[in-house]
Amino acid sequence: DINYPEQEILSAFANPKALCYKPDPKGLLSARTAIVKYYKLKGIFINIDNIFLSASTSEAYTLLFKLLMEPGDSVLVPVPSYPLFEHLAQVEGVKSISYPLYFDGGWHIDFYVLKNVCKKNTRAIIIVNPNNPTGSFLKQSELTELIQFCKNNQLALISDEVFCDYPHYDDTERVNSIAQINEILTFSLNGLSKAAGLPQLKLGWIVINGQGELYHEAHNRLEFITDLFLSVSSPVQHALPTLLDLAPIIQEQILKRVLSNYSWLKKQIKAESVCRLLPVEAGWYAILQVPKIITEEELLLELLIKDNVIVHPGYFFDLQTEGYLVVSLITRSDIFQTGINYLLSRIDRLTQ
């Protein structure tokens, strides 16, 4: 299993300052300073006043929907991607409109469709960078076109960057973060769930950027909204500097396992295999294309009932056609290999 530095993590919550309640709508200065340091180590320089803490990335979305949209307005969301967007939008009375990513050996935004599905009441577009589950990064050329698209349609750009600490290899063409982009109104989201592998501690953040009156108005209104909730606990805010200092120790172990599992999986999918493994640039997941002999749901049930193996169906992430399974690369390697062997054997039997 992942060896967490348990004593250091627990000691971070023994700070006597956590017994005092001095709320700040943006989050404690010490916590936001730690986030500035987190980005600086990546070569990204952000203004500490542009950081707003939230209890999770999911909560961050709801805060931004409140900020940017009225009930009945719409937001553009990518498919395939994170399956909660539609539900988070619905809770705020907002309509989610899907725009596709197409695959041609790599994943790309379909700008032709994107431009046609954007409505007059669309207020923002979401990107997931790197994407979950495709593991694909936004490319520099796409960002240029995306910024112009947002300018033309007066849209804010929301970037979910929770998997940015888990690239599988280097690529100068990829966009690692939009936290420094200020040509348009932008919101960069991240948090402890993935950055430190600590989802139970419930702390995320938003980095807002932009310029002019629109940016200042959005900044002030976001501060008003976060002041209404003050949802992040004092103990985790005081612990954040230590937790982010420890994060690389955890990230290194997670990434080592993910890369090992992906490398092993690639070796199992031989050229003559009826399955195909899609390339992955980052993150914790891999997509397997499998024969469409039975539906994804029927295959999942076969694997669960007969082999005690759990995988995600492609439709869970809005992959547009049948015949895809999503597997977790963070699973312990011995369990992962056993499960994949069962999966491939089951598919072989079904195709005979």
pLDDT band at 262 (very low <50, low <70, confident <90, very high): very high
So where are the chain's domains? 6-247, 248-351
Residue predicted with more confidence, 75 or 20: 75
Could you tell me if 302 and 346 are in contact, meaning their C-beta atoms sit under 8 angstroms apart?
Answer: yes
Average pLDDT score over residue span 168-177: 96
Q: What is the mean pLDDT of the chain?
A: 96
pLDDT of res. 320: 85
CATH number of 6-247: 3.40.640.10
Whole-angstrom distance, CA of residue 15 vs CA of residue 11: 8
pLDDT of res. 183: 97
pLDDT of 233 strictly over 90: yes
pLDDT of 270 strictly over 90: no
pLDDT of res. 314: 96
pLDDT of res. 88: 96
Main-chain dihedrals φ then ψ at residue 95, nearest 5 degrees: -95, 130
DSSP element (H, E) containing 76: strand 74-79
DSSP string, 4-51: --HHHHHHHTT-GGGGS----TT--HHHHHHHHHHHHTTT----GGGE
Could you tell me if 329 and 262 are in contact, meaning their C-beta atoms sit under 8 angstroms apart?
Answer: yes
Amino acid at 170: D
Look up the CATH superfamily of 248-351: Aspartate Aminotransferase, domain 1 (3.90.1150.10)
pLDDT tens for each residue of 180-204: 999 999 999 999 999 999 999 999 9
Whole-angstrom distance, CA of residue 210 vs CA of residue 213: 9
pLDDT of res. 252: 98
Average pLDDT score over residue span 266-271: 90
Beta strands in 161-270 (DSSP E): 186-191, 204-209
pLDDT tens for each residue of 53-67: 999 999 999 999 999
pLDDT of 286 strictly over 90: yes
pLDDT of res. 1: 82
- What share of the chain has pLDDT > 90, as a percent? 97
pLDDT of res. 82: 86
pLDDT of res. 227: 98
pLDDT band at 226 (very low <50, low <70, confident <90, very high): very high
pLDDT of 352 strictly over 90: no
Q: Is the peptide bond before 133 cis (omega within 30 degrees of 0)?
A: yes
Could you tell me if 311 and 303 are in contact, meaning their C-beta atoms sit under 8 angstroms apart?
Answer: yes
pLDDT tens for each residue of 287-331: 999 999 999 999 999 999 999 999 999 999 999 899 999 999 999
